[in-house]
Chain A
Amino acid sequence: MLEVEAVVRRFGDLTAVDGISFEIAPGETYGLLGPNGAGKTTTISMIAGLLAADSGAVRVLGEQMGPSRVAGKRHIGLVPQDLAIYPELKGRENMNFFGRLQGLGGKELATRVDEVLDLVGLTDRAGDPAKEYSGGMKRRLNIGIGLLHRPTLLILDEPTVGVDPQSRNAILESVEALSGEGMAVLYTTHYMEEAERLCDRIGIVDSGQLQAEGTRDELIRLIGGLDRVRLDGSGDLAAAADALGGLAAVEQVDADRTGLSLAVRDAPTAVAELVTRATAAGVTLADVEITRPNLEQVFLHLTGKALRD
């Protein structure tokens, strides 16, 4: 579907993108994570054909992408980070305008606009100027415009920035539904939980380079992350610590006055055995808590920065 091959883009002395490569398969949602200035937007601009790469290549369904390459652009739907809508135009007029530029017309356009308005929940407000919409409604209109021509690759550049929780959830559900229908999605975000929820694979970008790539679990394994398990309770905690320390999944166990803290591989699988052994060793458990390493920690490990820096 999308092939990005060692693309490089320079602005004067600054190399904004330095040899990034990745691919996206049909129906796959790929997350591009990186701090501000990492090169995400420049990468997206090259994929969407807004900028030409100094070297390397971007292909969508085999079509070369670039500012003057028209054929490849038919396959993509770009949802820019900024609200790319015209406030003076009504919601339906915005969709009609961009739909016509995508080559739609007549009955096909009218039908498709109705469908997308329904999909993004704006049918009732389609006749109002976009400038009268709430922030969430504008975001939904922004996304809807990118869907009009049924693109095979949807590019979403931080689509939930500044959106209320309700609209945000609606947007995430829409993306999940589109992915379920076979649309490939390239998604950038500052919100780790969005990446974890939506993305099949994630690429971490920093200083213009792809630092790591893989599924969530693959990325966590990359930094050797262990799950943390906390067993709160009373009784013979020292004996329980000895018993649990002998299990293959347990790397480390510490007892304190209120319970046990363990470093464990694959905690969801091991937790039942841990509870059984602790109870057998004479501990009365009051609470069990599992903390798994997340992408935030991976990100911090790889880039030395928090995602929102």
Chain B
Amino acid sequence: MRQLWVMTTSDLRQRIRDKSVIIFSLIVPLALMFVFNLVFGGTDEIELEPVTVAVSAPADDEVAGTLVEAITGTGVIDVTVEQMSAGTARTAVADGEVNLAMIVPDGFGQDVLSGTGGALEFVEGDTSGLETGVVIVVSQSVLDAYAAGTVAATAGGGLGLNPEELGRVAQEAATAGPTIDTVAGQTSDEQLGPGASLVAGQAGLFLTFTVGFGVLGLIAERQEGTLARLQSMPMRPGLIVLAKALTGFILGVVATSVLLTLGGLFFDVSFGPLALVGLLILSVVTAITSLTFIVVRLARTAEQAGIIQSILAMVLGISGGAFFPVSASGALARVLDLNPIAAFTRGLGITSGGGGLADLAAPIAIMLGFAVVMLVVARLIPDRGVSR
């Protein structure tokens, strides 16, 4: 045990001194979290700018009045309406004085109410954008409601209702509120929010590189000659591999803990109870460390190891949702579920949603099962690095 600890502490000291572990395990993932957050993170917090809409409509057009009320009363966008003639409205849009022109032709309201259709003209200019698009969509929904009323009235006529009753039906159909409500609810238990997903995914992705500083160091030592000296020391050769694995494991646990903590602070994310998050971290680090035993068997040189490690990191990271959520169905979904990084992210979703230890059984079983399988496979693969 003393020799194991001597090798592990010496490895840790060297990794910290050469600073590469700090750069690749902490600085780069944190920087990427910020970059991705800037690129993808702002879409749910869009602020709509005020717009000015030039409206040209007959003064007594009931439908036009309803449209103006609708677009000025959305509550999500500040709309100023300026009444003007059709020609002036078009010029105002072209000159950039207003963002949008809505031109209601004579008799439009009558046509809509009678169910014979009608054409409402919108004119967008250089200053148009998302806001004017919202105004157009709101207007369209109002007209759709009128169309529904017209359909109802037509149906009523077919059933022999008198004109008064038909008018009442049409009015109710056009102005009735929605009968189906949509309610903004909480994120489901196994789904992290965008910020939390980003932090968890990046932590998982870079974990693959971090633990590589342990076992994969064996290949560098083999190339540099220090492995031969270590193997000549009076200790069992397995201790050398164990020390490297322990180094990678410690680095992985520390780096992932730091990334989740800092990422949580920077992006205002909570992953849940520390003990459960700690358990997930230990499990995912165990899983990814086991993978390095296969890499060390396959690679002859440190360069080869780096390439294999990068490929594995990208495959596991991307399929685990490190950059964006990945969804699949059928057999592919089941395969993706076995990805330890995906299981880690899923586990964090459970803990952040208030789940307990029992709820974590599946993701933890996946991560530890992955570790067992990788270790068995590593034992079966011939060591390509052994040479004369």
A residues touching B (Cβ–Cβ < 8 Å)? 11, 16, 41-42, 45, 48-50, 67-68, 70-71, 73-74, 76, 78, 80-86, 88-89, 93, 97-98, 100-103, 145
A97-B10, A100-B2, A101-B230 known; A84+B18 contact, CB < 8 A: no
Chain B 216-236 interface mask (CB, 8 Å, partner A; 1/0): 000000001110111111111
The reply on B261 being an interface residue by CB < 8 A is: no
Contacts of A73 in B (CB 8 A): 232-235
The reply on B341 being an interface residue by CB < 8 A is: no
Report the 3 A-B pairs with minimum CB-CB distance, sorted nearest first.
Answer: A82-B225, A84-B229, A78-B232
Contacts of B13 in A (CB 8 A): 88-89
A41-B388, A84-B224 known; A50+B10 contact, CB < 8 A: no
- Complex CA gap A97/B235 in Å reads 14
Contact A101 B7 (CB under 8 A): yes
Contact A88 B228 (CB under 8 A): no
What are 28 A-B residue pairs whose CB atoms fall within 8 Å in the complex? A11-B388, A41-B388, A42-B388, A48-B232, A49-B232, A67-B231, A67-B237, A80-B225, A82-B226, A83-B225, A84-B224, A84-B226, A84-B229, A86-B14, A86-B226, A88-B18, A89-B13, A89-B14, A93-B10, A97-B6, A98-B229, A100-B6, A101-B3, A101-B6, A101-B7, A101-B233, A102-B233, A102-B234
A11-B388, A82-B224, A100-B6 known; A88+B229 contact, CB < 8 A: no
Contacts of B226 in A (CB 8 A): 82, 84-86
- Complex CA gap A93/B10 in Å reads 9
Contact A84 B228 (CB under 8 A): yes
Chain B 6-22 interface mask (CB, 8 Å, partner A; 1/0): 11001001100110000
Size category, B interface: 20 to 34
B10 to A, closest residue via Cβ: A97
Contact B228 A45 (CB under 8 A): yes
What is the distance, in angstroms, from B163's C-beta to the closest C-beta of chain A? 94
Contacts of B225 in A (CB 8 A): 80-84
Contacts of A68 in B (CB 8 A): 236-237
Contacts of B388 in A (CB 8 A): 11, 16, 41-42
Number of A-B pairs, beta carbon distance below 8 Å = 76
Contacts of A71 in B (CB 8 A): 234
- Complex CA gap A82/B230 in Å reads 13
Contact B235 A101 (CB under 8 A): yes
- Complex CA gap A98/B224 in Å reads 16
Chain B 234-264 interface mask (CB, 8 Å, partner A; 1/0): 1111000000000000000000000000000
Contacts of A45 in B (CB 8 A): 228
Contacts of B10 in A (CB 8 A): 86, 89, 93, 97
- Complex CA gap A93/B17 in Å reads 13
Q: List residues 71-101 of chain B with CB under 8 A from any CB of chain A.
A: none
A16-B388, A86-B14, A88-B14 known; A98+B231 contact, CB < 8 A: no
- Complex CA gap A50/B233 in Å reads 10
What is the distance, in angstroms, from B222's C-beta to the closest C-beta of chain A? 10
- The 8 Å CB contact of A70, one of B18, B235, B387, is B235
A100-B2, A101-B7 known; A70+B236 contact, CB < 8 A: yes
A101 to B, closest residue via Cβ: B233
Contacts of A85 in B (CB 8 A): 226
B240 to A, closest residue via Cβ: A101
What is the distance, in angstroms, from B146's C-beta to the closest C-beta of chain A? 77
Contact A70 B234 (CB under 8 A): yes
- Complex CA gap A49/B6 in Å reads 21
Contacts of B7 in A (CB 8 A): 101
A17 to B, closest residue via Cβ: B388
Q: List residues 1-55 of chain B with CB under 8 A from any CB of chain A.
A: 2-3, 6-7, 10, 13-14, 17-18
What is the distance, in angstroms, from B350's C-beta to the closest C-beta of chain A? 41
Contacts of A81 in B (CB 8 A): 225
What is the distance, in angstroms, from A179's C-beta to the closest C-beta of chain B? 20
Contacts of A11 in B (CB 8 A): 387-388
Contacts of B234 in A (CB 8 A): 70-71, 73-74, 101-103
- Complex CA gap A86/B12 in Å reads 13
Contacts of A102 in B (CB 8 A): 233-234
A41-B388, A102-B234 known; A78+B229 contact, CB < 8 A: yes
Q: List residues 358-388 of chain B with CB under 8 A from any CB of chain A.
A: 387-388
